[in-house]
Structure 1
Amino acid sequence: MYHPNVWRTTRPLWIAWGLAVVGTLGSLYFSEWMGFAPCPLCWFQRLGLYPLVVILGLGLWRRDRDVWLYAAPFSLFGLAFAIYHNLLYYGALAGTCSFGSDCTTRQIDWFGFISIPLMSLAAFVVINVMLWLERERHR
């Protein structure tokens, strides 16, 4: 049964789930419709992001108080690869991916600084913060 406070009490999870859905659809749009070949680091970030859609969605549906615990490993995994990808992409670390497409290829550059790796990093940071807020809410 719907309760009017469901949105207010689970807002961090809804935000995290919404970002996971948008990130998943966005990555599929860039690779399938725009024809951008995902680099190896992008694939690892996808491994962290895609399961979050299902895990957080089921957690919201079942009102599972511990869903943050199931989602955190995937989100932290994706965050670690997003940080590393951005360090390579923006030149803070020297190197490149050893196979597949180049991880430093500039496929989009919105407003002179927004790139696909930066969008991924921002999404994972916000998702991790939302999961942390959810954890703190139940302590």
Structure 2
Amino acid sequence: MHKENYLLAAWGVALIATLGSLYFSEVLKFIPCELCWYQRIFMYPQVFLLGMAFVRKQFIIARYTLMLSIIGGTISLYHYLIQKVPFFRNTAPSCSIVPCTGDYLNWLGFITIPLLALIAFIFISVISYRVIQMEKEGKYI
């Protein structure tokens, strides 16, 4: 697969995650907790970074999106653990008005908003890492 296609795929994941996040808060009126806001801080810029990287063929952006995704994914994992693991739930710091332990969405008993964000961050991380590998190997195809 071409590097451009990897960037396009990562951009698509970031765009879907961002639009989904906005749908939950603006249409369904879910009020984001503090950890949700941090996850948004690390996801939303990637729509613009990956979009511009795709248009301008600037593959170096993958280094930045990898770091943003690793940090955002770590926050998502922690948030998911707070929601699903009693030990983490009991030791969770108090968040703002909306508690971070609450889950507006709980499909199949385990799919929550932080898990969806974590999956998106993992996809973007893997794709970004692959683009970086291809750059180092000098592969353009």
After TM superposition, the score normalised by the length of structure 2 is 0.87
Cross-structure match for 2:134: 137
| Secondary structure in 2 matching 1:98 | coil
2:31 and 2:93 map into 1 onto residues whose CA distance is 15
Q: What is the DSSP-based 3-state SS (H/G/I as helix, E as strand, rest coil) of the residue aligned with 2:2?
A: helix
Report % sequence identity.
Answer: 36
Q: How many residues align?
A: 133
Q: Distance in 2 between matches of 1:90 and 1:79?
A: 16
Q: Is the 8 A contact 2:35 2:100 kept in 1?
A: yes
Contact 2:80 2:112 (C-alpha < 8 Å) held by counterparts: no
User: What is the TM-score of this pair, normalised by structure 1?
Assistant: 0.88
Per-residue CA deviation, residues 48-85 of structure 1 (Å, 9 max, x unaligned), is 00000000000000001211023223222211211111
Separation in 1 of the partners of 2:26 and 2:127?
29
Which amino acid in structure 2 is aligned with residue 27 of structure 1? Answer: S
The residue aligned with 2:139 is none
What is residue 17 of structure 2 aligned with on the other side?
Answer: 23
1:125 CA drift (Å): 0.8
5+ long unaligned stretches in structure 1: 1-6
* Residue equivalent to 1:111: 108
Q: Which residue of 2 aligns with 1:56?
A: 50
Q: Report how far residue 96 of structure 1 moved.
A: 4.1
Decide which of 29, 36, 56 is 1:35's aligned counterpart: 29
Q: Any unmatched runs of 5+ in structure 2?
A: 137-141
User: Which amino acid counterpart does residue 49 of structure 1 have in structure 2?
Assistant: M
Is the 1:96–1:104 Cα contact (8 Å) retained in structure 2?
A: no
Tell me the residue number matched to 1:121.
118
User: In structure 1, what is the equivalent of residue 95 of structure 2?
Assistant: 98
Q: CA RMSD in A?
A: 1.5
Q: Does 1:8 align with 2:2?
A: yes
